[in-house]
Chain A
């Protein structure tokens, strides 16, 4: 299972804890992972990426394995440790605002 860490506001919205588990078929990419996340928790649609363009929202970041993957292609394979569930894929709110 893929592990995904969510920021507090999205935990509240989805009514889940800090980490959720997803079953992602095929190559695990940002796109397939977020597709699976939104399918399981429809309330998160539009909160991480735009619903129409599917672009990552400006103040959202994706971290995994101590790397910032925010600017990687949405279709690039995520690290094997994420695909195996050894490491979580972290959805993080950027430091901004007050």
Chain B
């Protein structure tokens, strides 16, 4: 019998939820690193017991942790993230130049081929890489020093590189997203990058169709169609079918197209999920009803999924890294809330139940199918 392991990063520690393939009964282990913010943790596709975690607090800064036994025990690895060469400036909130300063690691993306190789997306926005299991990190400076870097501006959460997608058919091709700069693509393993934001329209920047400056909250890919990406932007749900060369809006009949998460069904590349949030000034579901919306047509036509989710007085948020899917035959969908619940569906979203409650606010959810 296969199993599922859900890695949950929260404001006050990490939790590891495990179940067998039936996904009926869940064991909750943790908190690991109690009291620390765990922005993200993710396992290696090569060795699922190798897990990397981003640990931090305002007091003690950034640490990185590594587990080699599926999250039971951890060892601290190198936490020195130093930008390559002379750092330049990006825009500050008031439009003035502001020097690049490392603050935290938002996202870790283990390599699909080597358990010791991991990419890290950080704030202030840049991409780092380790090839020795976290013993040392070095920047891939081509992204930060891209010609548009001086125009990047932090979103409310900071100038963060929060999404890293590796093309499963060509590992030199990667897609990343930065709030609030936009989406970028490399075709050479991270040496050079290009903005891929054509078709995005953002009313909150002076030039709504600018090359950069868009607050992309999340992008997602199905491994069978790496040129097709889905995006939850600050406002608008978008898709591209040409690797980001052009985007079209697929918000369709969503009650609001603001939100943070977007993900794709493990076996149906046109089945996608979002969690609409009321607005950029009210970060909770419309009408106090927590609804996942599913489109089986790659967008535009959306259906609300409510069975098992609170349908009154619910005012939680679902943050950008807090949704994931398993790869069992009946695809499981998982998401965590700022109210400390982790919801799971073992029938592709038709019904839901909380598999953990009363956790600290959830920052990230990653799923391993074992």
Contacts and interface: CB of A to CB of B under 8 A. Distances in A.
Interface residues of A, number: 21
Given A9-B35, A9-B36, A13-B63, A46 B58 contact: no
B98 interface: no
A30 to B, nearest CB: 17
A73 interface: no
Interface stretch (B76-84, B116-124, B332-340): B76-84
Interface residues of B, number: 13
Contact of A45 (B35, B59, B80, B82): B80
Contacts of B57: 9, 97
A47 B82 CA distance: 15
B80 A9 contact: no
A93 B59 contact: yes
A10 B57 CA distance: 11
Interface in B22-60: 35-36, 57-60
Contacts of B79: 45-46, 51
Given A9-B35, A9-B36, A51 B80 contact: yes
A8 B60 CA distance: 11
Contact of A46 (B35, B36, B62): B62
Nearest to A94: B59
Interface string A54-94: 00011110000000000000000000000000000000011
A59 B62 contact: no
A70 to B, nearest CB: 13
A60 B35 CA distance: 16
B63 A47 contact: yes
Interface string B74-105: 00100110100000000000000000000000
Nearest to B77: A43
Contacts of B59: 7, 9, 57, 59-60, 93-94, 96-97
A49 B309 CA distance: 45
A6 to B, nearest CB: 11
Interface of B: 35-36, 57-63, 76, 79-80, 82
Given A46-B62, A46-B63, A96-B59, 14 more contacts: A9-B35, A13-B63, A46-B61, A46-B79, A47-B60, A48-B60, A51-B79, A52-B82, A57-B60, A59-B59, A60-B60, A93-B59, A96-B58, A97-B59
9 contacts: A7-B59, A9-B59, A10-B60, A13-B60, A45-B79, A45-B80, A94-B59, A97-B58, A97-B59
